[in-house]
């Protein structure tokens, strides 16, 4: 375990050097990891674990598109691919990678199969933290651990295939065997994490829900829509409004932020741009602070969890989500984006 100083604050970080894959395999050598759910994280984690040499099986609803996807990814019916009940019975580590709302309906099935000494694994603190809403209360004799990749399951798999690793957080909620901590770290390494940051279930879910509703997804889409609208209403063409709002952001400037920080991106822009951005960023911070505080309160009060569960548990919810995404896709802004992207690939 390494102590690393982040901006003046010491934190505990696990690196692959001190906890190499061999050690992870050693810790989990007698375990069968049952990955339950084959949505986005399910495939990423199950395939990385399998390629890393762990004993993995997949549990999924039969006659679903995910079942077919699992088969096409090389999981074999009756050998490594089972209905959820069977996979949970075979598994000694039950990796609950169902959707957060879906976990509620399936919980009694998993709970029944969580016999003493088994491990319950999550990639989100949601089910445990919001137990008033989910009723997920694990038996006392099982370990309860978490490894949560800080990114999409798609990125987790892509990075793994290219030899890299996505950073994840990890946590122990319940240590019945005295081995929960090393199991959590071993799972983190096994699924293809780069560095592992220690957290607890509550902090993981509060920060995750805030991040995705805020800057990572909600605020990102919202501020893009607002700026695009202003430019269009002031007479700019769709392509001009899109280029100055999205294309330059994703293709030029955000990669520079990722590479070497905000000041580096600024330093690579004109003095005119730097002056204006430095003058205006405070206005944007102050304007969004109340919204972000409201968001955090909504997360901490359980309201966000309640809404996720309520909406996510209704029949036909996937189609509703699809329709909302289609509306986004078909808007002038994102239709313009599709055309701009084609021009991008043409110029390669
Ligand atoms: N999507 C991502 O990249 C990330 C997800 N997570 C967490 O990982 C977990 C899994 O997330 P995703 O892969 O996005 O899940 P998802 O929303 O794609 O759903 C996973 C699977 O659950 C199944 N499912 C849903 N309800 C069910 C039910 N009632 N009975 C049986 N199966 C049901 C779906 O068919 C799907 O195959 C969640 O806790 C999520 O918060 C964590 C980090 C990133
Ligand atoms: C990809 C990820 O980390 C998210 C945005 O939190 C999620 O998919 O839940
Ligand atoms: Mg996340
Ligand atoms: Mg999330």
Same domain, 264 and 137: no
Boundaries of domain holding 272: 214-346
Which ligand 1 atom lies nearest to the CA of residue 40? Answer: 13
Q: Does the C-beta of 97 come closer than 6 Å to ligand 1?
A: yes
Q: For residue 348, is pLDDT > 70? A: no
The DSSP result for 170-189, as a single string, is EEEEE-SSS-HHHHHHHHHH
Q: Indicate whether 280 and 168 sit together in one domain.
A: no
- Predicted local distance difference test score (pLDDT) of residue 37: 98
Atom of ligand 1 nearest to the CA of 124: 39
313 lines ligand 1 (CB under 6 A): no
Clarify whether residues 75 and 191 are in a common domain: yes
CATH number at residue 94: 3.40.50.720
Ligand 1 mean position, distance from CA 319 (Å): 15
Q: Is residue 44 domain-shared with residue 187, that is, in the same domain?
A: yes
Is the CB–ligand 1 distance for residue 65 below 6 Å?
Answer: no
40: left (phi over 0), alpha (psi -120 to 50) or beta: alpha
Residue 141 annotated as binding site:
no
Whether ipTM tops 0.90, in short, is: yes
Query: Using one digit for the tens of pLDDT, what is the confidence trace for 37-76?
Result: 999 999 999 999 999 999 999 999 998 999 999 999 999 9
* pLDDT average, residue stretch 80-104: 97
Picking from 200, 195, 198, the residue whose alpha carbon sits closest to that of residue 174 is: 200
**Sheet with 193-198: strands ordered across:** 2-6, 9-14, 193-198, 166-174, 143-149, 119-122, 93-96, 33-36, 56-59, 81-82
180 and 299 share one domain: no
Cα–chain center distance at 42:
11
Split at pLDDT 50, 70, 90, the class of 284 is very high
Q: Is 90 labeled as catalytic in the residue annotation? A: no
Long-range contacts of 68-72 (CB under 8 A, 24+ apart): 69/38, 69/43, 70/38, 70/43
Q: Which of 66, 133, 57 is nearest to 95 (CA)?
A: 57
Domain boundary, last residue among 175, 199, 223: 199
pLDDT of residue 159: 97
Averaged pLDDT for residues 223-244: 98
Confidence of residue 347 (pLDDT cuts 50, 70, 90): low
- 263: Cβ–Cβ under 8 A, 6 or more apart, which residues? none
Model confidence over 5-34: pLDDT tens digits? 999 999 989 998 999 999 999 999 999 999
Q: Rounded to an integer, what distance in angstroms lies between the CA atom of residue 206 and that of residue 200?
A: 10
Whole-number Å distance, alpha carbon 120 to ligand 1 midpoint, is 16
Per-residue pLDDT band for 346 (boundaries 50, 70, 90) equals low
User: Is 286 annotated for ligand binding?
Assistant: no
Q: How high is the pLDDT of residue 21?
A: 96
Is the domain of 135 the same as that of 103?
A: yes
- The domain tally of the chain equals 2
Is 207 part of any domain?
no
Which residue's C-alpha comes closest to atom 3 of ligand 2? 151
Q: How many other C-beta atoms lie within 10 A of the C-beta of residue 9?
A: 7
């Amino acid at each position: 375990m390494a102590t690393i100083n982040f901006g003046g604050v010491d934190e505990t970080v696990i690196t692959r050097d001190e906890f190499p894959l061999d050690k992870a395999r050693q810790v989990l050598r007698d375990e069968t990891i049952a990955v339950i759910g084959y949505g986005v994280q399910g495939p990423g984690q199950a395939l990385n674990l399998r390629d890393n040499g762990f004993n993995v099986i997949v549990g999924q609803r039969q006659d679903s598109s995910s079942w077919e996807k699992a088969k096409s990814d090389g999981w074999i019916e009756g050998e490594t691919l089972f209905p959820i009940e069977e996979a949970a019975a075979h598994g000694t580590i039950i990796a609950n990678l169902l959707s957060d709302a879906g976990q509620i309906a399936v919980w009694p099935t998993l709970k029944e199969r969580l016999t003493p000494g088994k491990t319950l694994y999550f990639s989100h603190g949601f089910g445990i933290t919001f137990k008033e809403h989910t009723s997920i209360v694990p038996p006392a004799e099982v370990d309860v651990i978490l490894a949560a990749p800080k990114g999409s399951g798609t990125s987790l798999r892509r990075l793994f295939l290219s030899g890299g690793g996505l950073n994840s957080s990890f946590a122990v909620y319940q240590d019945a065997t005295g081995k929960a901590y090393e199991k959590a770290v071993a799972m983190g390494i096994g699924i293809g994490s780069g560095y592992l940051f220690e957290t607890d279930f509550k902090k993981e879910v509060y920060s995750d829900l805030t991040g995705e509703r805020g800057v990572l997804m909600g605020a990102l889409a919202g501020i893009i829509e607002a700026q695009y609208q202003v430019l269009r209403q002031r007479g700019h063409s769709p392509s001009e409004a899109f280029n100055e709002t999205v294309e330059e952001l994703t293709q030029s400037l955000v990669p520079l932020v990722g590479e070497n920080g905000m000041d580096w991106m600024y330093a690579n822009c004109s003095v005119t741009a730097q002056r204006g951005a430095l003058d205006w960023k405070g206005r944007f911070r102050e304007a969004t602070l109340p919204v972000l505080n409201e968001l955090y309160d909504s997360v901490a009060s359980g309201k966000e969890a309640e809404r996720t569960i309520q909406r996510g548990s209704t029949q036909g919810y996937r189609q509703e989500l699809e329709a909302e995404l289609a509306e986004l896709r078909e808007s002038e802004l994102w239709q313009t984006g599709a055309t701009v992207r084609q021009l991008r690939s043409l110029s390669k």
